[in-house]
A and B are shown apart, each in its own frame.
Chain A
Amino acid sequence: MHIVVLVKQIPDPDAPASAIQVNEDQRGFRVATTVKSLISPFDEQALEAALRIRDAAGPAGASVKITAMSLGRESAREVLKHALAMGADDAVLLCDGAFDGGDSFTTALALSKAMAKLEPFDLIIAGRQAADFDFGLVGVGLAELLGLPAITMAKSVEVDGRTVRVERALAEGFEMVESDLPVLVTVSNELGSPRYPSLRQMMRAGRKPIAVWTAADLGLPADSVGAAAARTDIERFIRPRFDVQCDFINGDSAQEIAATLLARLRDARIL
């Protein structure tokens, strides 16, 4: 079985808002150099889901091949190394200046061509959304381009023969969905913590080769990807403002603070 996991490198999503500065022309923004670049957390859980499928297969797990794939700049090698250290067998980086300025559509398009080169594959797993732009479009968009069914927001993913069984975490509860392979699955944070690679695994991953494919390698003319082919434009970025002035409520005891708060809320007709 061949599982392809899609991973993206993003600025640390837990970085403080102050570390992000909108440019003068509002067309772009800068992230402070102190902010680390990481694998998007949902993508790390997507990889964990793939590794759990291999673990669950027991001795047959040896026949489960996991490929991690990313579209990004040279620096995205780091997230692929992390994926290799976690347990992926192969890594592919789609890297080309022509990809710059693209949107979720051009990304999905490039990934779809790369999937054709990775055939045969049985399962594609991605994070529910990248924790930078939070669009949540590339995974299902890729499924549409490849003509595959997509099962989103997985809490768990099990493979039984040619059937995949996914427990979905929805706002309203849980749902169990089955489909025949091949299929695309996106995972949510309910999947649980990803494993942490050991130092030895990290060292070994550092020596593994990473395949780098350009737009031409994917048979894509430069004007069919990136800014030239995007279907959306980001007109501007805006820093959200909080205009709220916080009244801190003090007191000598918890009882006094509680009484003051409740009185204030009643005065403001909130209670």
Chain B
Amino acid sequence: MAVEAGVLVLARTQEDAPSAATRELLSLARRLCEQAGGAVTAFLPEAGDDAIANELIRQGADTVLTAEEGTTCDDEVLTRCLAQITAQTHPAAILLVHDSVGADVAPRLAVRLGAGVATDCIAIAPHDDRLVALRPCYGGKLLSEISARKPPLLATVRRGSQEIAAPDVTRRGSIGKIALVPADYTARKRVVKNDTRGSEADLESARIVIAGGRGLEAEEGFRMLEELAELLGAAVGASRVACDLGWYPHTRQIGLTGRVVSPELYLAVGISGASQHMVGCAGAKTIVAVNRDPEAFIFKAARYGIVGDCREIVPALIENLKTARPAT
């Protein structure tokens, strides 16, 4: 029986390069292996030249397994592949990004491997002889530390929660192939329409994010935020309440069940700061809150606060920025 060591990472790409979240996973995997030993294996379920695999190696992988041929691969195929690689490499941890793919694959893989699983983790570290994952629960009102009774620990990791290490161009590793789709496999799900715009990582990569909530009082409030965003070079998001009210697209929802942002500046306008929302902006360096209610929870997390009507404050900010900026 092999002793479990090392880390297996499900690697994903965005625009022909490892996604930022994948770089986070590899950075975390590297740190874990430096502390506890073992090698980092990255599974890249996309066929491509070795350029991406080499980037994964520079980011921390020792071995990259890529797909033999380019096929769309669903949760069931990914589960099979990861289970197969786990049986060969006996990792102490298996890391996936906490996104729609990770959330679909992790529960299946955990059942198949008999592994303990923790989702939406913000930290993973060795403690005594085991790995412990830190994750929020109760919509961020509590944090919990979870361990697996026996290795491997399977974890989905929140985007933006891990520091990305500088790629090391001198790192060397091996690249192998894995048969992605077994001969006997027939997909049980069919994607009949896809409305996803792959390049919309603007919220996650924005230096400044402005988010609006119920306090805007109407859909028009978001036009105001968009104007302010234009002046600041910011991206606009919304609270779940605002999205459920139909004021802003659900794809722009920030929070536990939406997108997670970690900008330098997060301007929360008319958002009370329910813990489910705060999960989505906990990584922000500085939070500025505008809210009519001085008791609003958002002020507990904010560095600067304005108690007032956002429909007066936001236009004043716009006016100030317009006059400060020379007309072109």
Contact = CB atoms under 8 A, between A and B. Distances in A.
Given A13-B139, A149-B76, A232-B147, A247 B304 contact: yes
A180 B188 contact: yes
Main secondary structure of the interface of B (DSSP, over half): mixed
Interface string A157-200: 00000000100111111111111100100001110110000000
B142 A240 contact: yes
Given A17-B275, A29-B142, A235-B147, A179 B120 contact: no
B135 to A, nearest CB: 8
A249 B320 contact: no
Given A134-B138, A232-B146, A104 B107 contact: yes
Contacts of A174: 193, 195-196, 251
B316 A176 contact: no
Nearest to A29: B142
Q: Interface on chain A toward B: helix, strand, loop, or mixed SS?
A: mixed
A193 to B, nearest CB: 8
Interface stretch (A117-125, A207-215, A217-225, A263-271): A263-271
B196 A172 contact: yes
Interface stretch (A50-58, A77-85, A86-94, A251-259): A251-259
B320 to A, nearest CB: 5
A188 B117 CA distance: 21
Given A13-B276, A17-B275, A170-B196, A239 B142 contact: yes
Given A190-B250, A237-B144, A240-B136, A108 B200 contact: no
B141 A179 contact: no
A265 B265 contact: yes
Nearest to A249: B306
A134 B232 CA distance: 34
Contacts of B126: none
A176 B193 contact: yes
Please provide the 10 A-B residue pairs with the shortest distance between their CB atoms, ordered closest to farther. A258-B316, A173-B196, A176-B193, A140-B107, A232-B116, A254-B316, A172-B196, A254-B312, A149-B188, A231-B116
12 contacts: A108-B107, A134-B119, A134-B139, A137-B119, A170-B196, A170-B251, A172-B198, A176-B191, A179-B190, A238-B142, A259-B316, A270-B264
Interface of A: 11, 13-14, 16-17, 20, 22, 29, 103-105, 108, 128-129, 131-141, 143-145, 149-153, 155, 165, 168-180, 183, 188-190, 192-193, 230-240, 242, 244-249, 253-255, 257-259, 261-262, 264-265, 268, 270-271
